[in-house]
């Protein structure tokens, strides 16, 4: 898979050549900075040409970005292909595809549930965004889940889209990725992307897809052109017309741009009436401006999606102008493509502990409570793991090696062992890690905050978040303080807002918000470890009592770092 032509989109010589004001684009970029929005990339297209784009270090054009709920847009396209090919219809009942789940009661809402209800977010099923994804049978869990109402009622549920992937798998015997490769990815020149699956190889549907910024731009451009790309009908014409239209009244939702109507995997926009969007958590956007033949694609790490959309509406569609009118001289291209770094990497002192740390291994005390709630502590930030089937976790056996301008940190997590090289000279270092069976490109840095405190920064570029880990050494003891950006507090606030949007019984909403804010700080607790001389690890299969005795003896002889 992926061995086919992946031609890039054509580029305009300047934004003005495509009918876009470069000065307004620059004001948009400055507005993003001033608003505190962490933008990873943006791309503006008009008339089929890329008019302006930028990727902010360390993100780059060739690195896929998590799409979160933009995945739903792609799942919905797969549904359009399946309908076009007669595999099922919008009115096909789900029980006709999964007869083994037929209920005993003739009044069960399952008898009414159709493909339309799933793709238009009208299943009536209850949403559980904290449901652990490790369990094997997602289909059975969907059928067994509760009901908020009968099908036909607006409710944004991730698992609706998973069931559509399961339906396509049921009727084709192929995964959605296999199904879409010749139909969507090949014609658009998109290298077959990674998509998280259940244990049976069925895509998550509502989340878990990674796309490059230009990949998403191609998909949205295809929609903007009625499903046509490079003169060929790619997305079925009936689907390209109906999917962006309002299929569901979601006016009960809170939020300006989350209550203007929902199509098939696409949202109508209220900030710009003649616009629709693919929309993912942390403000992943693909927006089509219908009256202007224009597309704006953005990847971000911004929890307040409405704030990002408000920023967009301040400059679009204002930025679009006619090619025929007299224009002011364009802003230099290099200003529009400026790649400013997102991270300021500190340069710290060098500690005398470095040599002694190289002779030791940090054993980390396991937090059993976090394993019970399916959130084992990981070097990956919480924002990257909370929807994953395999969260990895329980990092342990941490080794450090120091050199003049960098250090290497090695650790075990699950069945995997990884090493990252961390710059200590004000510059990040790049590498690869594998956690939870998924490969990540990472950039990392480290700095001593004082003689006994080392801070490590790790940013997996295929996620939106950054992990920080602070190690404070106190003789044999190691106090470990994990952190992340976005922070746990910010994530707790977002989950509380999700509860507000999804649940309309006010007393339950209040209780949900309280417990979410109470619960989330426990996901990044302070942890404790112990320094173990490497020769003990290398020469003995120790038990707990043996280790304590050996460490006590060595401490008496002052052979451990102080």
Residues sharing a CB contact under 8 Å with residue 65, sequence separation 6 or more, in sequence order:
40, 41, 59, 210, 211, 212, 213, 284, 299, 462, 464
In 324-370, DSSP assigns E strands to: 360-364
> Residue 455's closest CA among 432, 413, 424, 411?
424
Rounded Cα distance between 352 and 350, Å, is: 7
Rounded Cα distance between 77 and 362, Å, is: 48
Rounded Cα distance between 392 and 390, Å, is: 6
DSSP state at residue 16: G
DSSP state at residue 181: I
Q: What are the backbone angles phi and psi of residue 38, rounded to the nearest 5°? A: -80, 95
Residues sharing a CB contact under 8 Å with residue 372, sequence separation 6 or more, in sequence order:
none
Q: What is the pLDDT along the chain (562 residues), one digit of tens a residue?
A: 445 667 899 999 999 999 999 999 999 999 999 999 999 999 999 999 999 999 998 999 999 999 999 999 999 999 999 999 999 999 999 999 999 999 999 999 999 999 999 999 999 998 665 566 666 689 999 999 999 999 999 999 999 999 999 999 999 999 999 999 999 999 999 999 999 999 999 999 999 999 999 999 999 999 999 999 999 999 999 999 999 999 999 999 888 999 999 999 999 999 898 999 999 999 999 999 999 999 999 999 999 999 999 999 999 999 999 764 445 666 666 666 666 667 767 788 999 999 989 999 999 988 766 656 566 888 888 777 766 676 677 899 999 999 999 999 999 998 899 999 999 999 999 999 999 889 999 999 999 999 999 999 999 999 998 999 999 999 889 999 999 888 777 776 666 555 555 444 455 455 555 555 555 556 677 889 999 987 776 554 545 555 556 556 655 554 444 4
- Within 10 angstroms of residue 548's Cβ, the number of other Cβ atoms is 12
- Within 10 angstroms of residue 180's Cβ, the number of other Cβ atoms is 24
Same fold flag, 1-63+212-342 and 68-210: yes
Distance of CA 522 to the CA centre of its chain: 22
Rounded Cα distance between 113 and 123, Å, is: 6
Instruction: Kindly state the helix (H) or strand (E) to which residue 125 belongs, with its residue range.
Output: none
- Give the right CATH number for 353-486+526-556 from 1.10.10.10, 3.20.20.70, 2.60.300.12, 2.40.128.20: 2.40.128.20
Rounded Cα distance between 460 and 466, Å, is: 7
Residues 1-63+212-342: name the CATH superfamily.
Answer: DD-peptidase/beta-lactamase superfamily (3.40.710.10)
Q: Where are the domains of the chain?
A: 1-63+212-342, 68-210, 353-486+526-556
In 314-437, DSSP assigns E strands to: 360-364, 396-402, 406-413, 416-423, 429-435
Rounded Cα distance between 427 and 425, Å, is: 6
> Tokens 């450090």, residue?
400
CB 18 within 8 A of CB 49: yes
Which pTM value belongs to this model? 0.89
Q: What are the backbone angles phi and psi of residue 180, rounded to the nearest 5°? A: -85, -20
Distance of CA 136 to the CA centre of its chain: 22
Q: Does 68-210 carry CATH code 3.40.50.970? A: no
Rounded Cα distance between 227 and 390, Å, is: 35
What tokens does 472 get? 């404070």
């Amino acid at each position: 898979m992926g061995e086919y032509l992946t031609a890039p989109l054509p580029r305009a010589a300047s934004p003005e050549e495509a009918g876009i004001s470069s000065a307004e684009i620059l004001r948009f970029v400055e507005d993003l900075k001033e608003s505190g929005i962490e933008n990873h990339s943006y791309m503006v297209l008009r008339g089929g040409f890329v008019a302006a784009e930028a990727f902010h270090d360390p993100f780059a054009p060739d690195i896929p970005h998590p799409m979160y709920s933009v995945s739903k847009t792609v799942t919905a396209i797969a549904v359009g292909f399946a309908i076009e090919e007669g595999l099922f219809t919008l009115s096909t009942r789900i029980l006709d595809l999964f007869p083994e789940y037929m209920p005993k009661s003739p009044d069960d809402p399952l008898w009414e549930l159709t493909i339309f209800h799933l793709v238009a977010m009208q299943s009536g099923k209850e949403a559980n965004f904290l449901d652990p994804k490790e369990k094997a049978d997602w289909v059975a869990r969907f059928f067994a889940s509760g009901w908020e109402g009968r099908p036909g009622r607006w409710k944004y549920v991730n698992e609706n889209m998973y069931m559509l992937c399961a339906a396509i798998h049921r009727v084709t015997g192929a995964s959605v990725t296999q199904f879409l490769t010749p139909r969507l990815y090949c014609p658009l020149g998109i290298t077959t992307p990674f998509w998280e699956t259940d244990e049976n190889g069925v895509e998550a549907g509502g989340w878990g897809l990674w796309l490059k910024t230009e990949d998403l731009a191609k998909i949205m451009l295809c929609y903007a052109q009625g499903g046509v790309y490079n003169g060929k009908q790619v997305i079925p014409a009936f689907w390209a017309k109906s999917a962006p239209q309002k299929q569901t009244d979601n006016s009960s939702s809170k939020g300006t741009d989350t209550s203007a109507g929902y199509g098939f995997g696409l949202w109508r926009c209220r900030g710009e009436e003649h616009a629709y969007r693919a929309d993912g958590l942390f403000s992943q956007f693909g927006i089509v401006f219908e009256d202007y033949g224009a597309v704006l694609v953005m990847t971000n790490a911004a929890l307040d999606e409405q704030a990002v959309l408000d920023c967009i509406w301040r400059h679009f569609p204002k930025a679009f102008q006619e090619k025929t009118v007299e224009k002011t001289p364009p802003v230099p291209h290099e200003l529009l493509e400026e790649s400013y770094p997102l991270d300021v990497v500190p340069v710290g002192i060098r500690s005398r502990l470095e040599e002694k740390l190289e002779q030791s291994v940090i054993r980390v005390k396991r937090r059993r409570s976090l394993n019970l709630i399916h959130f084992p502590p990981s070097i990956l930030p919480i924002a990257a793991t909370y929807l994953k089937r395999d969260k990895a976790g329980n990092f342990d056996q941490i080794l450090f090696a120091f050199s003049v301008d960098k250090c290497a940190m090695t650790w075990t997590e699950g069945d995997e062992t990884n090493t990252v090289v961390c710059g200590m000279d004000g510059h990040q270092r790049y590498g690869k890690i594998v956690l939870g069976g998924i490969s990540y490109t990472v950039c990392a840095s480290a700095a001593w905050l004082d003689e006994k405190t080392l801070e490590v920064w790790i940013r997996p570029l295929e996620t939106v978040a950054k992990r920080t880990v602070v190690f404070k050494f106190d003789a044999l003891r190691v106090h470990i303080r994990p952190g992340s950006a976005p922070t746990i507090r910010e994530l707790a606030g977002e989950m509380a807002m999700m509860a507000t949007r999804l649940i309309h019984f006010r007393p339950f909403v209040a209780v949900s918000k309280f417990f979410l804010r109470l619960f989330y700080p426990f996901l990044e607790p302070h942890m404790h470890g112990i320094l173990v001389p490497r020769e003990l690890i290398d020469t003995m299969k120790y038990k707990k009592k043996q280790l304590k005795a050996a460490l006590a003896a060595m401490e008496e002889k002052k052979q451990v770092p102080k």
